[in-house]
Amino acid sequence: MSGARSSASRTLHHGARAFGHRNYRLFFAGQAISVVGTWMQQVAQGWLVLELTNDPIYLGLVSAIAFLPVLILGLFGGLVADALPKRQTLIATQVVQMFLAFVLFGLAVTHNVQVWHILVLAGLLGITNAVDMPTRQAFAVEMVGREDIPNAVALNSALFNAARIIGPAFAGLAIGAFGIPIAFLLNGLSFSAVIAAYWLMRQGDLHTPPRRPRPGSVREVGHTLAEGLRYVRRTPVVLLATVIVGIVSTFGMNFGVIVPTLARDVLHTDAAGYGFLMAATGIGSLTSALGIAFSGRPRVALIGIGATVLGAALIVAATIGIFWLALPVMAVIGFGAIAMAATANTTIQMAVPDELRGRVISVYTTVFVGSTPIGGLLMGGIASRFGVQASLLVGGIACVIAGLVGVVWLRRIRADEAAARPVRATAS
């Protein structure tokens, strides 16, 4: 009995190691509030666009405009992450995002909001995310050190997906009670928590690597960016993670485009029902993230397995027309998505050297998030032309294929590594 108790205690300690760092505790607390607000705004904005246009193609267009800057500028965001102090950069991006949320609230509450307003604000948000996302990902190791980075990444994912449960559910209820604008107001206010968290961090406690000199010419910028791309191309497991995530996020993770239309036109529910569908996805995602956090170093095989699970669940979702049956399927979709994405993120974080971290992470975030403009328009176009169920089916098949390719690819990488070991031993 004492052995089981000791094992459980070790598991709990292992799953919460990152909380031993004061700066990370501040970060986690601030994000816990801010990300709930972000999910509230995402749900409210999707429903607002559908009300204004009555066409899912506009959901894809808003998604594309929001993430196109990440696709175009994401690599430069990694350059910024490596060249500028990350904490101060993150404070700046959060202040800008707070301002954009308040502008959207002002337009919505005065009943002046139009689709083009949402498109412009989404584009501006995307520009800030092109810097914020790679910087925030790379900042994790400075808060906790390399030894605790797998735990921090898994806890970040758990936090994000816990907010994915609370935010959409709360948004659905708040919209039903007070109207859509309240979600934008609460999101704007929520940024104050994360800004305060960054402000209160102790600079001396950060594991800050030596900052590389800023490029002084266009040629130097190109060379610096190429370093990160070359590392991804020459490191098989990093290339695998990046490619599989890119394919799956293009075809299978367009929840903001597909789920509003699924909720209204197929499952015949309202904004509250849409919120609960997104919350169900969050429950599956949170379960997956906590499993990774408390299991130690994640298995790389989960990249392919998670993509396959996600794809299979999307195919099942395409056949369901009953709301309560769709909820557990959405949970499985969330489980597979985070098993893939969190494992890919941690795999890259563990592989990359500190001096390349920002640029390599920017390649990952550019592919992960930047593929959304392509996928959002593609999946939104299929939903508009052939129906949302056809879009789910196409996305599911693509994800299953990508996942199976990932499993085979990883086996090939391991076989090549095993074959290379005796050669290295002989040479030494």
Read out DSSP for 310-335?
Answer: HHHHHHHHTT---HHHHHHHHHHHHH
What pLDDT sits at residue 210? 59
pLDDT for residue 9 is more than 70: no
Overall average pLDDT of the 201-229 stretch: 66
Residue 246 structural domain: 14-201+224-427
For the stretch 150-186, pLDDT in tens is: 778 778 877 877 787 788 778 878 887 888 999 999 9
Residue 295 CA: distances (Å) to CA of 10, 15, 142, 251: 11, 7, 23, 29
pLDDT for residue 409 is more than 80: yes
Q: Are 16 and 230 in contact (CB under 8 A)?
A: no
Residue 288 lies in a domain: yes
Residue 209 lies in a domain: no
Q: What's the rounded Cα separation, in Å, for the pair 56 and 33?
A: 30
Residue 27 lies in a domain: yes
Query: Would the pTM count as exceeding 0.75?
Result: no
pLDDT for residue 124 is more than 90: yes
Residue 275 lies in a domain: yes
Which tokens hold the place of 55? 């066409």
Q: What's the rounded Cα separation, in Å, for the pair 95 and 196?
A: 11
For the stretch 12-57, pLDDT in tens is: 445 577 888 899 999 999 999 999 999 899 888 988 888 888 877 7
Residue 215 lies in a domain: no
Q: Are 366 and 129 in contact (CB under 8 A)?
A: no
Residue 422 lies in a domain: yes
Q: Are 55 and 383 in contact (CB under 8 A)?
A: no
What pLDDT sits at residue 148? 78
For the stretch 246-289, pLDDT in tens is: 899 889 887 777 888 888 888 888 877 877 888 888 888 888 87
Q: What's the rounded Cα separation, in Å, for the pair 332 and 337?
A: 9
Residue 117 — very low, low, confident or very high, per pLDDT cuts 50/70/90?
A: very high
Residue 213 lies in a domain: no
Read out DSSP for 233-292?
Answer: HH-HHHHHHHHHHHHHHHHH--HHHHHHHIIIIIS---HHHHHHHHHHHHHHHHHHHHHH
How many domains are contained in the chain? Answer: 1
Residue 7 lies in a domain: no
What pLDDT sits at residue 106? 95
For the stretch 295-328, pLDDT in tens is: 766 688 889 999 999 999 999 999 988 888 999 9
What pLDDT sits at residue 12? 47
Task: Look up residue 209 and give its DSSP letter.
Answer: P
pLDDT for residue 400 is more than 70: yes
What average pLDDT does the structure give for the chain?
A: 82
At 111, which CATH number? 1.20.1250.20
Q: Are 153 and 349 in contact (CB under 8 A)?
A: yes
For the stretch 62-105, pLDDT in tens is: 877 887 787 777 667 766 767 778 889 999 999 999 999 999 99
